Amino acid sequence: MKDAVICYDVIRRSVKNPRLEFREGRLRLILPKNYAGPESIIHRHRRWIYNRHCRARDMLALAEGAELVTDRQEEEFRSLVNRMTDAISEELGVAPKAVRFRKMRTKWGSCSSKGNLCFNTHIRFLPEKLMEYIVFHEMVHLIELNHGPAFQSLIRTRFSEHKDCDRKLSAYWLLIQQHVNSISPCAAR
């Protein structure tokens, strides 16, 4: 831990308390405008910073050979997810009340207690197998709302390699964030 060199960005904002976050595998310190230097917060949270840095490094290494699907259009993506949802509905014997799409900052998808599914529009950059895993995962939530043993058992019926899928999704998350920010008009602030 002593020898690790971890680059970081300092962002000063009108916030009350300092905070740390990792975005795209890079440490960001969000500090109040009148906050002294970043050294004290870095020292106080050095173990957390090191652990998150290692995880980000591992995810970037895992993403090394991964390629984003950048030529899938929005309409094609929505149609594909809807076809997957229909097929999985037949397989599981449950159907969502509605399927929606929106950009999400922290998740691939969600299932409400009312039976509505919402998918992150960024999953259009994923290979079909990982898209299918996300759709299946959210559809299983129509049966089991939590991630308990019954939920895990249902996931394993179709995705025995679900832990590998989860690892790949973590790696793709970093790649997608980098891709989206590189094409965003606000990328260079």
Ranges of each domain in the chain: 8-65, 74-183
Q: Is the pLDDT of residue 186 over 90?
A: no
User: What would the pLDDT profile of 42-100 be if each residue is shown by its tens digit?
Assistant: 999 999 999 888 887 777 777 677 789 999 999 999 999 999 999 999 999 999 999 99
Going by pLDDT thresholds of 50, 70 and 90, the confidence category of residue 179 is confident
What is the model's pTM?
Answer: 0.76
Residue 118: count of CB within 10 angstroms of its CB: 17
User: Which of residues 39 and 186 earns the better pLDDT score?
Assistant: 39
Q: What's the pLDDT at 185?
A: 46
Specify the pairing of strand 98-102 against strand 116-120. Answer: parallel
Q: What's the pLDDT at 3?
A: 66
Q: What's the pLDDT at 166?
A: 93
Beta-sheet strand order (sheet of 109-111):
98-102, 116-120, 109-111
Q: What's the pLDDT at 183?
A: 62
Question: 74-183: which CATH topology?
Answer: Zincin-like (3.30.2010)
Strand partners, 119: 101, 109
